[in-house]
Amino acid sequence: MIRHASDPDSGELARKRAAVAGLYEGVQAVLSPMAGVTDLVFRAVCREHGADLTFCEFVSADGVVHGNDATRELMELGPDEHPVGIQLFGADPASLAEAARAAADLGPDIIDLNFGCPVRKIVKRNGGSALLCNLPLMDEIVRAVVAATDIPVTAKIRLGWSDGSVNYMETTRMLEEAGACAITIHGRTREQKFSGSADWGPIGEVKAAATVPIIGNGDVFSGADYLRLRAETGCDAVMIARAAIGNPFIFDEITAAMNGAPWQPPAVDRVVTTLLDHMQREIALKGPRTGLNRMKRHFASYLRGYPRVAELRKAVFASNDIPTIRSAFEDYRSAHAGIQIESAAPAGETVS
C-alpha cells in the first residue's frame, strides 16, 4: 500500500482501535444521533431501558467553531454518561478538526463523523451524504480529525448517493485507511432517504472484509429485526434510530430477544408513566417552555398504536400548560390501564 503523507500514526491508531474494539465487545444496541431527539435526558432514558452506547444530537462543526452556544449545548454530557459519542457534520477538514478538539474536551468515548445524513439542508452545504460523492474530501476530513484528537474517530455512511453510484466498499476501505476505528452503515442510498426497504446485504459484505467493528443500521423496529440483522450480516452491533423515538422500550425488547425471552409490549400504564417521567426530567433540565417543546417530538410516538389517542393528542398539542398536559395523560392512563399493543409503527423521517 502506498503511504499517504497524513497516514495516522500506527501505534496511536492501534491504541484507539483496541479501545473501540473493546468497547464494542460490550455493546449490542446503539442509540443513533438524531436532531431534536437524542438530548441528555432522552439518552439517559434509553440507557435505563438497555441502550449500550448513545450519541448526542449531531452537531455542526461550523457552529462549534463559531462559538454558537446552542450548538455547544447539544454536546452536553452527563457526569457518568459512558459510553457515549459525539457526532459531527460538516465539509471543511480544518473546521471539523477544531470542532473535534472541542468535543474531545468534554470527554466522549467516540467522535463520529456523519457522512450519511440525507436531509437536503445538510446536503446542500456539502455535509452528510453529499460527501459520498467526494471521497477525496471525505478522506481528508477523516485524516484531519484523527490527527486532531486522542479520542477514537468513527464514521457513519450510506450505500452511496444513488443506485447508480453505490460505493460502500470503496468508501469503507478508504475510511479504514484514513484511521476510522468503526463504521456504521445504513442500508439505503441517499436518493432513497427513508423510502423503500433497507438493504442489509452490503452490511454483511463490508463486515466480511473489514478489520474494524461494523455497525448495522436501517429498518430495525423490533427484537426480531435486531436478531435477523445480526444473523444475516454478522455486524458487531446495531444502531437504532426512528424506532427509538418515543419508544425507549425498543431496547428492552432487544434485550429480551438476545436472551431468548418472550416479549410483552408495555401496557398503557407503563408507557404513560415513562412519558411523564421523561417530561418532568426535560422540564427540570431545560425549563418549562423548552422542555415541553422538546417533549412534543415524543408525545405522539409514545402512544402510537394505542386506542383512542386522537383526542388525547389534540389536547396535549393544543396546550402549553404543563399541569393540563400531565392531567390529560394521567386521565388516559386511568381509563386504559392494562391495554397493550402488538407493536408500534416506525416514526417518520429523522435527521441523523
Integer Cα distance of 124 and 16 in angstroms: 32
Asked, as a colleague might, if the bond just before 83 is cis with ω within 30 of 0, I would say yes
With contact defined as beta carbons under 8 Å apart, do 25 and 213 qualify? no
CA–CA distance, 278 with 244 (Å, rounded to integer): 14
pLDDT reported for residue 2: 38
On the CB side of 47, how many CA atoms lie within 13 Å of its CA? 17
Mean pLDDT to the nearest integer, 265-281: 96
What is the extent of the structural domain holding 106?
A: 10-258
Q: What is the number of domains present in the chain?
A: 2
Is 106 inside any structural domain?
yes
pLDDT in tens, 276-319: 999 999 999 999 999 999 998 899 899 888 888 888 999 999 99
Q: Are residues 177 and 44 in the same domain?
A: yes
Same-domain pairing of 127 and 196: yes
Q: Where are the alpha helices (DSSP H) in 247-340?
A: 249-258, 268-286, 288-302, 310-318, 322-335
Q: Are residues 25 and 104 in the same domain?
A: yes
Single out the residue in 199, 230, 258 at which a domain terminates. 258
User: What residue has cell string 446552542?
Assistant: 70
**134 alpha carbon, distance to own chain's centre:** 23
| In contact, 20 and 212? CB cutoff 8 Å | yes
- Output the pLDDT for position 308: 87
Q: Which three cell numbers, joined as nine digits, stand for 180?
A: 476510522
Same domain, 314 and 170: no
For residues 129-148, give the mean pLDDT. 97
Separation between Cα atoms, residue 280 and residue 292, nearest integer Å: 9
Q: What is the CATH number of the domain that holds 113?
A: 3.20.20.70
SS percent in the chain: helix, strand, coil, step 5: 50, 10, 40
Q: Are residues 208 and 291 in the same domain?
A: no
Looking at the fold, whether 234 and 301 belong to one and the same domain comes out as no
| Confidence at 348, pLDDT banded by 50, 70, 90 | low
- The reported pLDDT for the residue numbered 343 is 53
**Residue 345 domain-assigned?**
no
> Quick check: is 159 in a domain?
yes
Q: CB burial class (10 A; 0-12, 13-18, 19+) of residue 150?
A: exposed
In a domain, 136, yes or no: yes
Task: Give the rounded percent of residues in the chain with a pLDDT score beyond 70.
Answer: 95
* pLDDT tens, residue by residue, 188-228: 999 988 888 999 999 999 999 999 999 999 999 999 999 99
Within-domain flag for 263: no
Q: Per the domain annotation, does 347 fall within a domain? A: no
Catalytic site positions: 117
Domain co-membership, 181 together with 320: no
Give me the mean pLDDT over the 36-55 stretch.
Answer: 97
Q: What is the C-alpha to C-alpha distance for residues 313 and 287, in angstroms, rounded to an integer?
A: 22
Confidence of residue 67 (pLDDT cuts 50, 70, 90): confident
Interval 147-201: pLDDT, tens: 999 999 999 999 999 999 999 999 999 999 999 999 999 999 999 888 889 999 9
Residue 304 to residues 134, 247, 308, 323, 340, Cα–Cα distance (Å): 40, 9, 10, 22, 11
The answer to the question of residue 52 being in a domain is yes
pLDDT band with cut points at 50, 70 and 90 for residue 5: very low
Read off the pLDDT of residues 92-103 as tens digits, 9 standing for 90 and up: 999 999 999 999
| Cβ atoms of 82 and 42 closer than 8 Å | no
CATH of the domain at 302: 1.10.1200
Q: Are residues 14 and 151 in the same domain?
A: yes
Asked if the structure places residue 163 within a domain, the reply is: yes
Alpha helices in 105-195 (DSSP H): 120-123, 135-148, 168-178
Q: Please give the pLDDT value at position 1.
A: 37
Asked if 247 and 145 sit in the same domain, the reply is yes
Please say if the pLDDT value at position 351 is more than 90: no
Question: Residue 72: which pLDDT band, with cuts at 50, 70 and 90?
Answer: confident
Domain end residue (candidates: 233, 258, 283): 258
Domain-terminating residue out of 229, 258, 287: 258
Do 175 and 61 belong to one domain? yes
pLDDT band of residue 12 (cuts 50, 70, 90) is very high
Residues 27 and 165 in one domain: yes
Confidence class for position 266, pLDDT limits 50, 70, 90: very high
Please check whether residues 236 and 164 belong to one and the same domain. Answer: yes
pLDDT band at 8 (very low <50, low <70, confident <90, very high): confident
- Which cell goes with 167? 460505493
